[in-house]
Amino acid sequence: MSKTKNILKITDFQYKNWIVELKQKIQQSQIKAALKVNSELIELYWELGREISERNFENTYGSGFFARLSKDLKQEFPEIKGFSSSNLRYIEQFYLFYREYFTNLQQVVEELQTFDNQENKNLQQLVGDLEVSKNDNRQQVVDDLKKLYLIPWGHHVMILTKCKTTKEALFYINKTIENGWSRAVLLNMISAKLIESQGKAVTNFSKTLPDYDSDLVRETLKDPYNFDFITLSETFKEKELEDALIDNIQKFLIELGSGFAFVGKQFEITVNKKPFRIDLLFYHIKLKRYVVIDLKAKSFEPEFAGKLNFYVTAVDRQLRDGNDNATIGLLICKDKDEIIAEYSLADLQKPLGVSSYELSKILPKDFQSSLPSIEEIEEELRTLRP
């Protein structure tokens, strides 16, 4: 027997032993899966991806490895779905995609631990300062790994195919967990590049909110907002935009993000016996504060900020109670000059933000974007009279 045949025999033996080991692991996982189906499945896939990567049988069997592994696993576990050759490739990709991230984080923890053990007295103060960082990184390794087990595998495959970095992937994993996104919603959020828009609104929060609140509230706002779920004409008016958003309130709430509860449209509030109407009023359950939204069908103008500041003051004084945090105002315009928006908010006392929105479904000017007004109907009737 040639040397090559001997090598193949040894390798075949190793492969078969590995299949036996995998069988035991999968059987153990099946028992646990009765209680925690998804987390155990993802944990199994993580371990299987690691095994495939580290054992390197692909180099021995070449392009046919995944087909053989698929066949063997299906034969051993015919009742389990997910062992197709294409899915096994995703499983290995899943492990390789996140491996470097978790390895790097763990190295940071270990390096800080080693540094902490140095006896140089001159470094003791610095070591003390790093202690919190060390603990944070250690906990981050654990927390982020656990999060991988909390979303369905179909979501993971979508994230693997759409995201380029682990930072981006972990962002969408966190958002999926927070908001309970379906795969369709997740795809929309990735396509709309939520990671690039969240927390990008121009605000004065750093001056008008406590430090511990400012960043948290800023992260609830986006810029731009994506209103592709509505269709308007090129000459749409603010009321039409408002009506379209309310007609699609479920999609609008998804676009706003987790925690928003709808309070009212054209919400009337009276100041000194004079009525005023707020375009949209929401309450953010997690932040425990009202959110006033003013919609503009045109570009941002400085005077818009003053009107929004007035509305927020009115809500604070008339609706807010002792259990509510300070009301925030959000102006959503067709577009904005960021410098002008920043100047406009600088000296206002209420926490305000300015964002833009995007529309892709715009009908030509020739299309009516709303029902005719009463004045238009009356004019038409006058022309028809003999």
Q: What pLDDT sits at residue 123? A: 38
User: What is the spatial distance between Cα 179 and Cα 341, in angstroms, rounded to a whole number?
Assistant: 30
At 197-237, the pLDDT tens digits run 888 899 999 899 987 788 888 888 998 898 888 887 777 78
**CA-to-CA distance for 351 and 203, rounded, in angstroms?**
7
Backbone φ and ψ of 295, nearest 5°: -100, 140
Strand partners, 277: 268
With beta carbons less than 8 A apart as the criterion, state whether 255 and 225 touch.
yes
At 149, the pLDDT band (50, 70, 90 cuts) reads: confident
The answer to whether the predicted template modeling score (pTM) of the entire model surpasses 0.75 is no
The more confident residue out of 187 and 62 is: 187
- 197 against 133, higher pLDDT: 197
**Which one, of 274, 247, 279, lies nearest residue 264 by Cα?**
279
Give the number of other CB atoms < 10 A from CB of residue 145.
15
Sole residue written with tokens 């007035």? 310
Would you state the pLDDT for residue 115? 44
Q: What is the mean pLDDT of residues 250-257?
A: 87
Task: Enter the tokens of residue 154.
Answer: 């179909």
Burial 104-136 (b: 16+ CB within 10 A, else e): ebeebbeebeeeeeeeeeeeeeeeeebeeebee
Residue 25 has pLDDT above 70, yes or no: yes
**In this structure, are residues 309 and 295 in contact, taking their beta carbons and an 8 Å threshold?**
no
β-strands 352-358, 225-226 pairing: parallel
In three-state secondary structure terms, 293 is: strand
Q: Does residue 32 register a pLDDT over 60? A: no
Phi, psi (degrees; rounded to nearest 5) at 274? -110, 125
- Residue 169 tokens read as 């992937």
Local confidence band at 126 (pLDDT 50, 70, 90 cut-offs): very low
pLDDT digit string, tens, across residues 276-317:
999 999 999 989 999 999 999 889 999 999 999 999 999 999
Helix, strand, coil percentages (3-state) for the chain, rounded to 5, are 60, 15, 25
Q: Which residues of 12-29 are buried (b: 16+ CB within 10 A; e: fewer)?
A: eeebeeeeeebeeebeeb
Long-range contacts of 184-192 (CB under 8 A, 24+ apart): 185/254, 186/155, 186/158, 186/159, 187/158, 187/162, 190/158, 190/159, 190/162, 190/163, 192/226, 192/228
Which pLDDT score is estimated for 107? Answer: 58
